């Protein structure tokens, strides 16, 4: 049986390395190349005609949608989109029956994608892939909107009154059931929201999600201590200790790279 020729496209070296590492566990896959930007991706796909492409949606210059537009819809490989959290995009992938990996994804989710790829290739159902990807492109492109500015103040309801908390005063946030607890100095405030919604509101240059239940203000981080399996213990300026999850290791690695 011929190897499944696979191309990895992502502007983040660590993301490419992780995908390559996971694919090496499957001997039927052969990685024929990696690209760090959309322009090189288009050339590589046209030149090497891979069977499968793992395509990052968010890249500078030419993103995943731009790559799709450049390629057209004829003789397309199986494309697995890799994306950060975007509620609308995920819904669009599902509606158009196109597989995706939502960052940060775990090994189990990756195995589901591998099963999807094998089934897709075995059934040779590429006849309608072009039309599905075209519909996906138009669906996502029509929903593109200019990025909104990060929230600077969050309304807090307390004792029958409402006051506004400056996001710059927040040290860290944690999930508590249907609420999020905002820790600012010695005070904590509960707001009825989800971590994903709160993450989208905050300035991504200052606030970093390090765990499914924890977001930290990077300006409050005093020290990072390696723990185990890609996890860290973060010590804040006030002595608070937070433990990261390995599922969010890429976020912390980006922070470390920016510090150099």
CB 112 within 8 A of CB 100: no
- Helices 13-23 and 249-259 sit at what angle, rounded to 10 degrees? 140
pLDDT at 146: 44
Q: Which CATH superfamily is domain 153-259 in?
A: LytTr DNA-binding domain (2.40.50.1020)
Instruction: Look at residue 8 in the predicted model and tell me its pLDDT.
Output: 97
All structural domains of the chain with their residue ranges: 4-142, 153-259
The fold of the 4-142 domain, in CATH, is: Rossmann fold (3.40.50)
- Predicted pLDDT at 85: 57
Report the alpha-carbon distance of residue 28 to residue 95 in Å, rounded: 29
pLDDT of residue 151: 83
Query: For every one of its 260 residues, what pLDDT tens digit does the chain have, with 9 covering 90 and above?
Result: 589 999 999 988 999 999 999 999 999 999 999 999 888 999 999 999 999 999 998 887 778 878 877 787 666 788 898 887 565 566 656 655 567 888 888 899 999 999 988 887 876 544 456 566 666 666 666 555 444 568 888 888 877 777 889 999 999 999 987 789 999 999 999 988 778 778 888 998 899 999 989 999 999 999 988 887 778 899 999 999 999 988 888 788 777 776 55
Q: What was the pLDDT predicted at 7?
A: 96
Confidence (pLDDT) at 21? 95
């Amino acid at each position: 049986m011929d190897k499944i020729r696979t191309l990895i496209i992502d502007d983040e070296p660590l993301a490419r390395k992780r995908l390559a590492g996971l694919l090496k566990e499957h001997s039927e896959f052969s990685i024929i190349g990696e690209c760090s930007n959309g322009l090189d991706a288009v050339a590589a796909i046209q030149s090497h005609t891979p069977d499968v492409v793992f395509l990052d949606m968010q890249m500078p210059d030419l993103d995943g949608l731009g790559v799709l537009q450049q390629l057209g819809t004829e003789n397309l490989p199986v494309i697995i989109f890799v994306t950060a959290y975007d509620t609308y995009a995920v819904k669009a992938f599902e509606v158009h029956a196109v597989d995706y990996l939502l960052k940060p994804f775990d090994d189990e989710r990756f195995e589901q994608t591998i099963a999807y790829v094998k089934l897709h290739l075995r059934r040779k159902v590429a006849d309608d892939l072009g039309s599905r990807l075209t519909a996906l492109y138009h669906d996502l492109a029509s929903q593109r909107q200019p990025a909104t500015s990060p929230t600077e103040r969050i309304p807090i309801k307390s004792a029958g009154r409402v006051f506004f908390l400056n996001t710059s005063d927040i040290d860290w946030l944690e999930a508590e059931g249907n609420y999020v607890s905002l820790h600012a100095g010695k005070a904590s405030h509960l707001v009825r929201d989800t971590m994903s919604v709160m993450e989208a509101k905050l300035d991504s240059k200052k606030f970093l999600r390090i765990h499914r239940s924890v977001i930290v203000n990077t300006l409050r981080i005093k020290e990072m201590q390696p723990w185990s399996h890609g996890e860290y213990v973060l010590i804040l300026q006030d002595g608070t200790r937070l433990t990261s999850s390995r599922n969010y290791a890429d976020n912390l690695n980006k922070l470390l790279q920016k510090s150099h």
